[in-house]
Structure 1
Amino acid sequence: MQDKDINLYPICVVPAERHYDSFKDLINDVKWFEQSRAHFYKENPQYKPKQGTFEQVRVKGKKGYILIPTSQDYGVLYRGQGGYYGRCLPTIYRQQLTDDELFVEKVRISEFRLFLEQFDVTQRFENSHYQVDYVGLAQHYGLKTDVLDVTNSIEVAMFFAMCDYDSDTDSYKPKHEDKQYVGYLYAILANENSNDPHNPFGVYSDKLKVIGLQPFKRPGRQNGFAYHVGSEGLISGYLYSFNYTKDDSIEIFNYFHAGEYLWCKDDIVDVAKAIAKITTFSSEAVRLATKMFDATMSVTKRIDRLRKAGYVFVSRRKQPWASIKKPITDDQWYAIQSNIVTRQLRSGGIVYSSVTTQEIGQETMFNYMYGCVDSPKDYDSGLCYMEEKYRPVFGLQSSMHHEPMHPAKEDGKIYAEWYENGNTAPRSRSFQVPESLKPRLVRVPRK
């Protein structure tokens, strides 16, 4: 029940869910909200982050840095899909696998990690305290994992919604039929409800993880993030349907250089394909999988069970990729580092060389409040701006999960009641956010 001393204003920080007749109209709406949330850069365009770079951010409560694809606003992630699947599940849960079969997929991820750890570039990342997301890399290179790919680039999301994967050629292709297609876009808020009193903003702390810049190109090209949804699948977010044509598909396909920019072939693609199918494992991979994923059973028992199921075990050095090593030069390493930018944080008279995930979370919260607009009539976004009537106390109230809308079975389109009733989507708000709440974090340019 609402406190009589509190005003609640239903708001949107992303477009209200509905069907769009054009994919470009949806992109324009998404970008309008991105610019609205990034209110600071309207006033200070000189601080606007450069595209194609990655921001070094300290992980709150942990050692090391994540390298986030730079954006005007880190508050929303996207996932594009060519079809609607009801519960959107990660690859490892799309089949009914037994516990042993699930563990086998995790051993494959571990085998992949052992392979990647041999590379000079991986070791340089680790020595520089940049976090290497081995599960995220495994997902991007075709292994079965418990994560869904998401991105902070609307264009990248649209590519995967409007182009088809061809498993025979391991490439993406545009649509080829002269008809109207329906695609789908999920928008997922990056702020996570956190029960940790030491990390109240909770951004990138639980299910949403930054993949970003990695020792290998593909995740960085895709502005990659990982959504660890587990076996229940994607249950929260905002869903839009949109029309598009063959020509639209070709347009987004060519925007990414015939898909080759995003689906780039590099040094690990072929080995990743092999590892995704192997039945011969190293005992080291089982040991690592037990440590990373499931220590409820000893390594010896795991190996015995898998042997009985027909799997073969060898030492790590006998795997065909054990000797694959590719050194990089100092110039190549410098070229990688040249794409990494930082922001200083000044707090209590101390200057920190980079911001933390908690400060990113704080910035995100302020951007939600400053960039929001009133919700359309009859639409519940799950978010409210909260204002106490008699004290200068303000905040954002959110439901734990906003369940995405469901498209109609007949034509796959989302028929939102608010839109069907003829209501409009506001581009303004009925309340003022105090100037004193504006965050100071972004006032130091990235270097």
Structure 2
Amino acid sequence: MLKTLLPRRLLGLLNLPTIDQLKRMLKVADPDSGYVHPGYQAMGLYVDDMEAQHAIVNRQGEVQFNTGVEFPDLVYRGQVEEFTPCVPGLGRLRRLEDKLVAVCRNVAFEDVIRAHPYVKYCASQYFNGRPLHINFQGVAQHYGFHTDMLDVTSNFDVATFFACCEWNDDAGCYLPVVAREAPGIIYSVEPAFYSMGLVELAAEFSFVGWQPLPRPAQQRASAFILPANQCFASLPGVSKHYFRHDEQSAEAIWRAFDGGDVLFPEDEAAELSRLAQDLGVVTTSQLARAWQILETWEGIGFKKKRRKGAFKASGLKIVETAQLNWTRFNLPSKPEKLQDRLNSELDNVRFRMAYTPPA
């Protein structure tokens, strides 16, 4: 049986396009060409494909800066192979105690991020009377913590990096996928379908974009926020595109992103995140918040006995004072320095003029 099935599977794999061929088949254009979108143009909106940071006001009335193209037709997610179900990091954990540890570390990292001088400064800023939006879970997601968010990007090439390169624990870095029996996969979906509230859907789309720490912007980041047991691939409008792994293409993509360094710039938050991902202690306040997050995620309440059992099995210890801090780093804290940094980072923000009629 295997003798007949294996050649068929390999034959099917060989019939798939490489990632370069798939890009051409999907008619994905390189950004920054100045191409004007005819659909928006017909509606009287000038929309081009120039990547920048685009100022918008979100549903909470906060100003945020989306990175990449202004109105992406599609967002993408790349994986070295298809995993079923396709769920966020938090959904890949099975035991309650493992989820508890992951969420406690996430909460501890969020606490220390909130205390970062530059993050604190940005969180206090207003633009035209509106507060600046900081997506703390989006930051945690891009520094390696388990959340309810699944990454997508408006930049096809960023998606191809994650589809053709894989983290190697032994090497401690991303490496190109040389060969694999299973095909790689690119997911695509129209964000407008979710962000404009056209229908009631079991997922929320969120632009993450620019944040006070660099990784989300570098990855042209957006995300789908998924409830427990919701598979991204089963959402309405999600398409799958398979490709055959090709050593030459993977090497070229890996080099184009400097082995991943472009997408994962090293900074003090990256160093602290590595400590947080091995954290074995939690404060009482952090533990209470972690349980609240887990109950919201699972959609159920945990009785005292089950909480006690899960905490014991987790190996976590209660401490009075949070262990993560920035004392080992010489971080700038003078307002003028922080303002200069903010001005520099938002130098390429593009604004769209709009008129709101009086009430």
Same-fold call, TM cutoff 0.5:
yes
CA deviations over 1:136-172 (Å, ceiling 9, x no partner): 2222111122221111110000011011211234321
Indicate how the Cα distance of structure 1 residues 202 and 263 shifts in structure 2: closer, same or farther if over 3 A, else same.
farther
The residue that corresponds to 1:48 in the other structure is: 48
After superposition, give the CA deviation of every residue in 1:172-215 in whole Å (9 maximum; x if it has no partner): 112345x8873210002213468xxxx74479995211211111
Contact 1:57 1:65 in 2 (8 A): yes
Judge conservation of contact 1:80–1:161 (CA < 8 Å) in 2: yes
Matches within 5 A, 1:210-249: 210-230=207-227, 231-234=229-232, 235-236=234-235, 237-249=238-250
Listed as ranges, the matches of 1:21-420 within 5 Å are 21-32=17-28, 38-39=37-38, 48=48, 50-51=50-51, 53-60=52-59, 62-71=60-69, 73-98=71-96, 100-128=97-125, 129-176=131-178, 182-192=183-193, 200-201=197-198, 207-230=204-227, 231-234=229-232, 235-236=234-235, 237-290=238-291, 294=295, 308-309=312-313, 310-317=315-322, 319-321=323-325, 323=327, 326-327=331-332, 329=337, 330-348=339-357
8 A contact 1:69–1:212 mirrored in 2? yes
CA gap 1:85/1:32 in 2 versus in 1, 3 angstroms: closer
Q: Give CA deviations for 1:382-402 in whole Å, capped at 9, x if unaligned.
A: xxxxxxxxxxxxxxxxxxxxx
Summarize the Cα distance change of 1:204–1:33 in structure 2 as closer, same or farther, 3 Å threshold.
farther
Closer/same/farther in 2, CA of residues 297 and 206 from structure 1, 3 Å limit: closer
Alignment of 1:5-24 (within 5 A): 20-24=16-20
Number of residue pairs matched? Answer: 323
Contact 1:88 1:233 (C-alpha < 8 Å) held by counterparts: yes
Q: Are the structure 2 counterparts of residues 349 and 75 from structure 1 closer, same or farther at C-alpha, using a change threshold of 3 Å?
A: farther
CA distance in 1, matches of 2:220, 2:308: 41
The answer as to whether partners of 2:36 and 2:48 remain within 8 angstroms in 1 is no
Matched residue type, 1:321 = N
Q: 1:189 to 1:124 in 2, by over 3 A?
A: same
CA separation in 1, counterparts of 2:243 and 2:151?
A: 20
Deviations 1:216-254 (A, max 9, x none): 111110111121233222112100111241111111112
| 2:123 and 2:133 in contact (8 A); partners too | yes
Q: Distance in 2 between matches of 1:301 and 1:340?
A: 52
Relative to 1, partners in 2 of residues 1:204 and 1:93: Cα closer, same or farther, differing over 3 Å?
closer
CA distance, structure 2, for counterparts of residue 308 and residue 22 of structure 1? 49
Corresponding position of 1:383: none
CA, structure 1 residues 293+283, in 2 after alignment: closer, same or farther (shift >3 Å)? Answer: same
Alpha-carbon contact 1:192-1:203 (below 8 Å) kept: no
Q: Secondary structure, in 3 states, of the residue corresponding to 2:268? A: coil
Larger Rg: 1
Q: What whole-Å deviation, never above 9, does each CA across 1:302-326 have from its counterpart, x for those lacking one?
A: 9866654442111235x14364562
Mapped partners of 1:214, 1:131: distance in 2: 8
Deviation at 1:85, TM superposition (A): 1.5
Considering only aligned residues, what root-mean-square deviation do their CA atoms show, in Å? Answer: 3.6
Alignment check: 8 A CA contact 1:122 1:215 kept:
yes
Paired residues of 2:176 and 2:250 also in contact (CA < 8 A)? yes
TM-score (norm 2): 0.77
Q: Is the 8 A contact 2:203 2:226 kept in 1?
A: no
Alpha-carbon deviations, 1:83-130, whole Å to 9, x = none?
1112112222223222x4423322221111101011122112211222
Contact kept? 1:76, 1:152, Cα under 8 Å: yes
Q: What is the one-letter code of the residue matched to 1:28?
A: R
2:20 is matched by which residue type in structure 1?
A: K
Partner of 1:69: helix, strand, or coil? strand
Amino acid at match of 1:215: P
TM-score, with length taken from structure 1? 0.63
Shift of 1:42: 7.5
C-alpha contact 1:37 1:73 (8 A) present in aligned 2: no
Match for 1:238: what amino acid? S
Which AA in structure 1 matches 2:154? N
Counterparts of 2:216 and 2:306, CA distance in 1: 32
Partner of 2:3: none
Contact 1:118 1:324 in 2 (8 A): no
Structure 1 238/40 Cα, relative in aligned 2: closer, same or farther at 3 Å? Answer: closer
Aligned-residue sequence identity (percent) comes to 19
Cα distance change on mapping 1:93 and 1:307 into 2, 3 Å: closer
SS in structure 2 at match of 1:185: strand
CA contact (8 A) 2:204 2:225 kept: yes
For the 8 Å contact 1:80–1:159, the answer to whether it is kept is yes
Distance (whole Å) between structure 1 residues aligned to residue 101 and residue 26 of structure 2: 40
Per-residue displacement from partner, 1:47-99 (whole Å, max 9, x unpaired)? 63532x21121112x1312321131532321001111112112222223222x
SS of 1:240 mapped into structure 2 = strand
Contact 1:281 1:312 in 2 (8 A): yes
